[in-house]
């Protein structure tokens, strides 16, 4: 038995089995590479599911987090702290949104967005039967509210009843959305680029029509940018590619680049007509450690010209994957934006992903037949070539 096998066996004895984990124990990372307990090196094209945007072992980031650990970790939200204030100012600047609520995760951010919509509706007309339109094949999280707006029945069935008053429309199908609209509708919620659902970017015309509908009916457009946000599309937030600003937005993952943090943001109009003192809260959300991590991330994004790299290398990755698709008849589609792309096969991809892991390449799926590419946003063209060479071997 190897040391990794020993740890895997111990993990299966103590951890709740809610994940079918790959048979590897990662020990440390450097740049865009991970190393397992036995020293084997892996090119990482998952980045912790779009979390480690800056790569591993970034000294400036680590130093900022370490300094805050030595200074102050937590006080609760009954008091102000400077890192959270500076972080909120930074997010406001890059997003153009007005109000920020920090959470510990993306799912919690979605929960807050749902509560914001319901309170907005209640203050508007005093009713408590408002409905939210979400999208089929979407993924927003595993908590009960986030699960209620996740458009995959298999995820929801065992946990019914959900929170209720949720209708599901087809993504990129405006007629489907219009069929769900009624006088109870208070919000339309969707990922700007569907991630778990198969790497599907929103059509520009679809998003613009949703914005128009929300404006005409005084309902909220809520965009989930948890996976596709924080630079992954080549803009800080994917909706900025379309010029369609949401009323409420959720963000997490790369916002903290490893420190667990999320947020939901809203316009001043929504902030003045929704949640007030006592309506929502969190013990850990926006603590000084999280704030320091966010501030470091925002600073490094600018210093390292991350968005420019995503645009350049994302376009290169697109061309490389197009070339692979042209060579393999079992690949039926390729889609995505920036450094969030997917190859859809006519068969399950688990075998390819496992072979790649054996050869030192970390990949992940989206559904059973799609390989998802979510590398760190500082990846280079050479590392794209290295990935492609291993992927072709495995196919």
The Cα 105–Cα 285 span in angstroms is 9
For residues 216 and 340, state if they share a domain. Answer: no
**Contacts for 271-280 with beta carbons within 8 Å, 24 or more apart?**
271/98, 271/99, 273/120, 273/123, 273/124, 274/116, 274/117, 274/119, 274/120, 274/123, 275/101, 275/112, 275/115, 275/116, 275/119, 279/115, 279/119, 280/101, 280/112, 280/115
For residues 167 and 25, state if they share a domain. Answer: no
The Cα 316–Cα 191 span in angstroms is 24
The Cα 344–Cα 315 span in angstroms is 18
pLDDT score at 33: 98
The Cα 59–Cα 330 span in angstroms is 42
For residues 65 and 17, state if they share a domain. Answer: no
From residue 125, alpha-carbon distances to 120, 134, 240, 278, 324 in Å are 9, 22, 32, 20, 55
For residues 310 and 295, state if they share a domain. Answer: no
Nearest to 120 by CA among 285, 278, 286, 266: 266
CB 114 within 8 A of CB 171: no
3-state secondary structure of 279: coil
Q: Which two tokens stand for residue 248?
A: 């409420």
Per DSSP, the residues of 95-163 read H---EEEEESSHHHHHHHHHHHHHHHHHHHHS-S--EEEEETT----SSHHHHHT---HHHHGGG-S-S
For residues 44 and 185, state if they share a domain. Answer: no
Domain boundary among the residues 303, 322, 350 is at: 303
The DSSP secondary-structure symbol of 31 reads B
Residue with tokens 């003192």: 277
For residues 112 and 258, state if they share a domain. Answer: yes
311: Cβ contacts below 8 Å, ≥ 6 apart? 234, 338
Domain boundary among the residues 303, 335, 358 is at: 303
Domain boundary among the residues 303, 320, 336 is at: 303
pLDDT score at 1: 63
For residues 351 and 292, state if they share a domain. Answer: no
pLDDT score at 371: 98
C-alpha atoms less than 13 angstroms from C-alpha of 71 in its C-beta half-sphere: 15
**How remote is the C-alpha of 24 from its chain's centroid?**
24
Q: 38 exposed, middle or buried (CB, 10 Å; 0-12, 13-18, 19+)?
A: exposed
Phi, psi of 51 (to 5 degrees): -95, -50
Domain count, the chain: 2
Nearest to 163 by CA among 134, 137, 138, 191: 134
For residues 223 and 140, state if they share a domain. Answer: yes
pLDDT score at 2: 87
Residue with tokens 């934006």: 337
3-state SS of the chain: helix, strand, coil percent to 5? 45, 20, 40
For residues 223 and 372, state if they share a domain. Answer: no
The Cα 385–Cα 316 span in angstroms is 10
Give me the average pLDDT of each 10-residue run along the chain (395 residues). Answer: 90 95 96 97 98 98 98 96 98 98 98 98 97 98 98 96 97 98 98 96 98 98 98 98 97 98 98 97 97 98 98 98 97 98 98 98 96 98 98 96
Q: 120 lies in which domain range?
A: 60-303
For residues 246 and 360, state if they share a domain. Answer: no
For residues 14 and 118, state if they share a domain. Answer: no
190: Cβ contacts below 8 Å, ≥ 6 apart? 134, 135, 138, 171, 202, 210, 222, 223, 224
CATH number of the domain that residue 138 is part of: 3.40.640.10
For residues 273 and 312, state if they share a domain. Answer: no
């Amino acid at each position: 038995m190897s040391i990794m096998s020993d740890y895997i066996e111990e993990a299966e004895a103590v951890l709740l089995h809610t994940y079918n984990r790959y048979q590897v124990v990662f020990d440390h990372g450097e740049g865009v590479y991970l190393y397992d307990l036995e020293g084997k090196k892996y090119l990482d094209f998952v980045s912790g599911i779009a979390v480690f945007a800056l790569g591993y072992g970034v000294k400036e980031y680590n130093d900022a987090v370490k300094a805050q650990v030595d200074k102050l970790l937590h006080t609760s939200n009954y008091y102000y702290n400077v890192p959270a204030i500076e972080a909120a100012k930074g997010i406001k600047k890059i997003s153009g949104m007005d109000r920020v609520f920090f959470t510990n995760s993306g799912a919690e951010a979605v929960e807050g967005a749902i509560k914001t919509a319901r309170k907005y509706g209640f203050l508007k007309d005093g009713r408590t039967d408002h409905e939210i339109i979400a999208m089929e094949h979407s993924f927003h999280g595993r908590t009960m509210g986030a699960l209620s707006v996740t458009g995959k029945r298999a995820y929801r069935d065992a946990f019914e009843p959900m929170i209720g008053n949720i209708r599901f429309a087809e993504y990129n199908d405006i007629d489907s959305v219009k069929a769900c609209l009624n006088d109870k509708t208070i919000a339309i919620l969707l990922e700007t680029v569907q991630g778990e659902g198969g790497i599907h970017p929103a059509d520009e015309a679809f998003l613009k029509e949703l914005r128009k509908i929300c404006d005409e009916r005084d309902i909220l457009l809520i965009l989930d940018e948890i996976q596709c946000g924080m630079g992954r599309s080549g803009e800080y937030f994917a909706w900025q590619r379309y010029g369609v600003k949401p009323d409420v937005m959720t963000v997490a993952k790369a916002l903290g680049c490893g420190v667990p943090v999320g947020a939901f943001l809203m316009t001043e109009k929504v902030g003045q007509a929704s949640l007030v003192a006592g309506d929502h809260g969190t013990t850990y959300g926006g603590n000084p450690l999280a704030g320091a991590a966010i501030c470091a991330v925002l600073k490094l994004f600018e210093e390292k010209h991350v968005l420019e790299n995503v645009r350049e290398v994302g376009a290169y990755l697109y061309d490389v994957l197009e070339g692979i698709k042209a060579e393999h008849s079992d690949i039926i589609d390729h889609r995505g934006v920036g450094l969030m792309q997917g190859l859809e096969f006519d068969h399950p991809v688990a075998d390819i992903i496992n072979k790649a892991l054996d050869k030192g390449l970390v990949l992940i799926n989206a559904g059973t037949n799609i390989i998802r590419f979510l590398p760190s946003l500082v990846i280079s063209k050479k590392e794209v070539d290295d990935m492609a060479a291993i992927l072709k071997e495995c196919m």
